[in-house]
Structure 1
């Protein structure tokens, strides 16, 4: 049965990869990024119970998934470009700060260690593993509202404990941690 499931998944992959790659490429204009996007979609599908997840046609589901993943990738690219432009303009100001990136990471991890365990785990899954609240809720067997509550608690805690680092934290956290 496992071999049948793998063969079926491979057949779906082979049948749709090329056209999905072309679709992502038209949206993003980069062949390597398009390939990565399509592979990411298939990886996420494989990690889920993919035969039960799908309730519409394979083609519609895959195109929607690639579309959404491509939009997310484009948002990250734009955000990264804005950050790089900001960093170029403000590089001198960042060098004048009394602390470095390593100290900031150390303070962040120290502040995270002071959080209640569930709030810390939810925060790390959201920010470090880039999982959505629904995915976190499913993984931890919590409601989405509970995950939101833990994130609110974690962010409030970090704002209080890292107030001196907040500006740099926002910039660095998005791109380097």
Structure 2
């Protein structure tokens, strides 16, 4: 049987002894971003929530592997944010459709949100709940299934169907 208190004390001790070292490791790879402290904190939060056994021998490897993965996630996210910012900056803050010469092909963010909401209201009640939890709350299928007390596969299927229907609705509305 797993002794979580012993594991937490091992993690806490490692945290107090190696916090600055890990923060320097992360900061160097993030080009000294303020996000380094957040990532270090998330490393230890993730370690406290994993189900595998943590020992003083395995902990350093787990810490640095988790930190490395969170750093990769950070840079992956930054890439998409930068691309989006570049797109918005060069499109004047508007969503551009087929041609920027056609005034009907330019939609504001509010218009896009309105179209999205109309698409969501065309879904069944269960699909709406699942879709909104996924899109607006950023919940994963497993989290949604636990929250709504539903079968994982059922949530997965309904979310997939909802995505297809909303995509199709938006495509037709923007055409």
Same fold (TM over 0.5): yes
Shift of residue 78, structure 1, vs aligned partner: 1.0
Alignment coverage as a number of residue pairs: 159
In structure 2, the residue matched to 1:39 is 41
Superposition pairs for residues 29-68 of structure 1, below 5 Å?
29-46=31-48, 48=49, 50=50, 53-56=51-54, 57-68=58-69
Distance 1:158 1:146 in 2: 18
Deviations 1:134-171 (A, max 9, x none): 5545555533x44442332121011122115669xxxx
Distance 1:72 1:142 in 2: 29
Q: Secondary structure in 1 aligned to 2:159?
A: helix
Structure 2: which 5+ residue stretches go unaligned? 97-102
CA RMSD in angstroms, aligned pairs only: 3.4
Structure with higher Rg: it is 2
Superposition pairs for residues 1-177 of structure 1, below 5 Å?
8=9, 10-46=12-48, 48=49, 50=50, 53-56=51-54, 57-91=58-92, 94=95, 96=103, 97=105, 99-137=107-145, 140=149, 142-143=151-152, 145-163=153-171
Deviations 1:70-124 (A, max 9, x none): 1111111111111222223222864855542123223323322332344334433
**Contact 2:95/2:109 (CA < 8 Å) preserved in 1?**
no
Shift of residue 12, structure 1, vs aligned partner: 4.2
In structure 2, the residue matched to 1:175 is none
Structure 1: which 5+ residue stretches go unaligned? 168-177
- State TM-score, norm by structure 2: 0.68
- State TM-score, norm by structure 1: 0.67
